Structure 1
Amino acid sequence: MIRRINSDIDKLRLKSKPATKADKQIIIDLIDTLKAHEDECVGMAANMIDEYKRIIICQMGPFAVPMINPVITKKSKSYQATEGCLSLAGQRKISRYKSITVEYLDKEFVQQRQVFSEFIAQIIQHEIDHCDGIII
């Protein structure tokens, strides 16, 4: 189901709780909502649809890849980026890392560990920040 985008700063600052298998509908809703905004958005976190669970989704080529309870375990090569957010007006500068290693559960709740770089790494960092209540 396509959900309304949360733009309430106070709610976006709330830290998300770990997701469980009971939260599978949130994953489906994130996929649907991201697809509905694909012209203006490449990633989303569950708090952007008023669900405070550690679930993110990232557009990787033709695939919308959900990550449940993602944790960055390694990062390298800091740089300054300019980002926008579907929940906020305008763009802001922020520090990011060119390469990150992320541990997460996939949509079947199978443990994954993967290295991401460049723009995909930037998207993942932005969405994990959302889970931590950090706003650009």
Structure 2
Amino acid sequence: MQRPIMTSRSFLRMPSEEAAPGDEIAAQDLVDTLEANRSRCVGMAANMIGVGKRIIAFVDEDFGGRITVMFNPVITGTDGAYETEEGCLSLTGERRAMRYRRIEVDYQDRRFRARHATFTGFTAEIIQHEVDHCNGIII
């Protein structure tokens, strides 16, 4: 189900709680909302739809543009720092952000199995932005 976009900065600044089995409905709502906003958004965190759980969804160009979901993502390695400007569906305008060209991420898949993956380029940038949301950091 598509949900409204959260714009409350006080809510967005609260770190999200760990996701657990039973949060799959929130993850599907996140995917539905991202799909509905795909023309202007490439990634979302659950707090952007009012759910304070560590769930992100993003358009993964390395997999043909399909939407990938991660539960409890944690960035465990970084390389190649650079500065960029990013926008956010929850905020107006663009802001400067420090990002990394390559990241490693520990996360859980939809069945809550532990996963580890490396991402580069724009996909890595999207994931970093959404993990920041999970940590209550807004650009």
Same fold (TM over 0.5): yes
Write the deviation string for residues 52-92 of structure 1: whole angstroms up to 9, x where unpaired: 00000010132110000000010011000110000000001
Matched residue, 1:134: 137
> 1: CA distance between counterparts of 2:60 and 2:111?
18
* In 2: Cα distance, 1:60 partner to 1:100 partner: 14
Unaligned runs of 5+ in 1: none
Q: 1:33: Cα distance to partner? A: 0.3
Aligned counterparts, 1:87-106, within 5 A: 87-106=90-109
Structure-2-length-normalised TM-score: 0.96
| 54-63 or 126-135: bigger deviation | 54-63
How many residues of Structure 1 are paired with residues of Structure 2 in the alignment? Answer: 136
Letter of the 1:33 counterpart: T
Q: Distance in 1 between matches of 2:122 and 2:107?
A: 19
List aligned pairs for 1:109-128, cutoff 5 A.
109-128=112-131
Query: d(CA) in 2 for partners of 1:33 and 1:55?
Result: 13
Query: Over aligned residues, Cα RMSD in angstroms?
Result: 0.6
User: Which is worse superposed, 54-63 or 94-103?
Assistant: 54-63
Identity of aligned residues (%): 47
Aligned to 2:85: 82
TM superposition shift of 1:108: 1.7
The CA deviation at 1:32 is 0.3
2:71 aligned to 68, 72, 83, which one? 68
Give the distance between the partners of 1:60 and 1:131, measured in 2 at CA.
19
Q: TM-score scaled to structure 1, two decimals?
A: 0.98
